[in-house]
Amino acid sequence: MRARCAGSLLTLLPGVAICFAQPRLGSGDAAAYVEIKLPVGVRSETIFARFVLDDDFGGWVQPRPDVSSYFISTIRHGAPATRFRAVAYAPGCAIQTIDLRTLGPAIPQYSFVCQPLRQIRLTGALIRSDLDGREISLEVKYAPRWAESFLGPGAGGIPDIPIGEMQHAFANGSFEVSLPDLSEDPLAGVSDHAGELQILGRDRASGKIVVELIPTAQLLRTRMGGLQIRKEYPEPVEFAPCSAHGLQVHDPFGFAIRLDSNDACGR
């Protein structure tokens, strides 16, 4: 059995993380970290969290296995930030927002309590399955458009949340994926929190995103071309591949790139 580390320290450099015990602070020091505690039953390597410090870009939690807490640095420009905000998600759980004041000697703590969501099935069919000869793997992300106003300008864009495990499209263009029922999510399921599902295709050879699948039925499609959040979907949902030479749906940091409204994808 592998021992669980007490925590994982995340600097602002993605991919840099070490396991360590909770840091000790002097009585007059300001805390330079926040702690996100994970409950038993939530695998630490599945956590997604995008965060900002004050109004500047912060970073994202680099997932680590077998930790019970994440300690995230709040140092920006050489000094502690005064506020930490994050959007966090774990598979099978409701999406959560975190808003902590970070000045003071005590390490601000947030306990991630999983609010379970039931799983629903999405069965899809591509109206054109060849995709110029590419073999693709599919993944589903939730684009919380409401998160921009919560995180502020420092977020730099919409933090797309991976919610569907990668699936291979069958030769006939059909696929099936299990998704959380976001219509019951306290954040994603309310009418004033706009968002949508994005189904993306990665080239299995290069690993690059080369296509987005757009619902052909207008009643299932959002204004931005994504799939509406529903409690259930008809079987199958028909999709058209939206692709272009050099299409990049996300930048290297995982932020969604807004395509021009006149793009051939019909957004």
Pick 173 or 54 by higher pLDDT. Answer: 54
Give me the sign of the Cα torsion angle 16, 41, 230, 210. Answer: positive
Pick 126 or 67 by higher pLDDT. Answer: 67
Main-chain dihedrals φ then ψ at residue 182, nearest 5 degrees = -70, -15
- Segment 169-196 shows an average pLDDT of 90
pLDDT for the residue numbered 30 = 59
- Check whether 165 has a pLDDT greater than 70: yes
Q: How confident is the model at residue 194 (pLDDT cuts 50, 70, 90)?
A: very high
CA dist., res. 65 & res. 110, Å (int): 19
CA dist., res. 240 & res. 127, Å (int): 6
- Segment 255-260 shows an average pLDDT of 45
- Segment 12-21 shows an average pLDDT of 34
* C-alpha closest to that of 49 among 23, 78, 82, 71: 71
- Segment 230-247 shows an average pLDDT of 80
Pick 155 or 112 by higher pLDDT. Answer: 112
Three-state DSSP class for residue 36: strand
What would you measure as the largest C-alpha separation in the chain, in angstroms? 65
* C-alpha closest to that of 134 among 65, 67, 211: 211
pLDDT for the residue numbered 244 = 45
pLDDT for the residue numbered 265 = 60
Pick 24 or 152 by higher pLDDT. Answer: 152
33-37 and 69-73 as β-strands: parallel, antiparallel, unpaired?
antiparallel
CA dist., res. 95 & res. 103, Å (int): 26
Strand partners, 129: none
Strand partners, 233: none
CA dist., res. 152 & res. 137, Å (int): 33
Three-state DSSP class for residue 148: helix
pLDDT for the residue numbered 8 = 54
The share of the chain scoring above pLDDT 90, in percent, equals 53
* C-alpha closest to that of 66 among 1, 145, 142: 1
pLDDT for the residue numbered 242 = 85
Helix, strand, coil % over all residues of the chain, rounded to 5: 5, 40, 50
